[in-house]
Amino acid sequence: MPPDRSSPPSESTSVIRPIERHVVLVAPDVHWNTGNIGRTCLGAGAFLHLIRPLGFSLEDRHLKRAGLDYWSKVKLAVWEDIDTFLEKMQPQPEEICLFSKTASQAFWNMPARARLYLIFGSETRGLPNDLRTRFPDGLYHIPISRSIRSLNLSTAVGIVLYESLRQKPPEHEWPPDH
């Protein structure tokens, strides 16, 4: 007997949409951080976007070593500049989360959205001021003790990426490949 189409779908038949995460590194300097971040992105099912200038070559053996044999599987895009990235990817302002140690909001206050762009600055310079100015409501920090200046970039990305997945909207699916 065919299903009754006159009634709304039950919870068990509702559509589950996949979660979408984009990690964006603006002018990263350190190859092994980027390699580790690529591996973390692959494990989380996230996309990795690198915004030039890069402080290393994508052919660097250290980058590939940090990414292990997973580097070729990373969903990677390299962009000439942040404006081209924003123009082509078209994230909504509420989908953009920028991370800086001087931001006033803690990272656990980021929005629980199906699609998020998690944007990090370089290891030595942080986020460009123009990005901070363009998206003032999307600035977050990871609280740390005063014993250190900052966390390692690959550690920060891992913390934020997995917290964003933990906070996902309930109607969305994760992990991506079960």
CB 23 within 8 A of CB 41: yes
Cis status of the peptide bond prior to 53, with omega within 30 of 0? yes
CA–CA dist 50, 134 (Å, integer): 19
Banded model confidence at residue 129, pLDDT cuts 50, 70, 90: very high
Q: What is the DSSP string of 53-91?
A: PPSS-TT-HHHHHHTGGGGGGS-EEEES-HHHHHHHH--
Task: Report yes or no on 57 lying in a domain.
Answer: yes
Domain presence at residue 6: no
In which band, very low, low, confident or very high, does the pLDDT at 31 lie, cut at 50, 70 and 90?
A: confident
Q: How confident is the model at residue 168 (pLDDT cuts 50, 70, 90)?
A: confident
Instruction: Provide the domain count of the chain.
Output: 1
Structure tokens at 30: 């350190």
Assess if residue 56 is contained within a domain: yes
Contact 112, 167 (CB under 8 A): yes
Query: Is residue 149 in some structural domain?
Result: yes
State yes or no: pLDDT of 4 exceeds 60.
no
DSSP 108-173: GGS---SEEEEEE-BTTTBS-HHHHHH-GGGEEE----TTSS---HHHHHHHHHHHHHHT--TTEE
pLDDT tens digits along 65-114:
665 677 889 999 999 999 999 999 999 999 999 999 999 999 999 999 99
Residue 1 belongs to a domain? no
Q: How many residues does the chain have?
A: 178
Domain membership flag for residue 14: no
pLDDT-based confidence at 172, cuts 50/70/90?
A: confident
The answer as to whether 111 is a domain residue is yes
**Domain presence at residue 82:** yes
Does the structure show a pLDDT above 60 at 9?
no
Task: Provide the residue range defining the domain that includes 39.
Answer: 19-171
Tell me the CATH number at 153.
3.40.1280.10
Is pLDDT at 58 greater than 90 in this prediction?
no
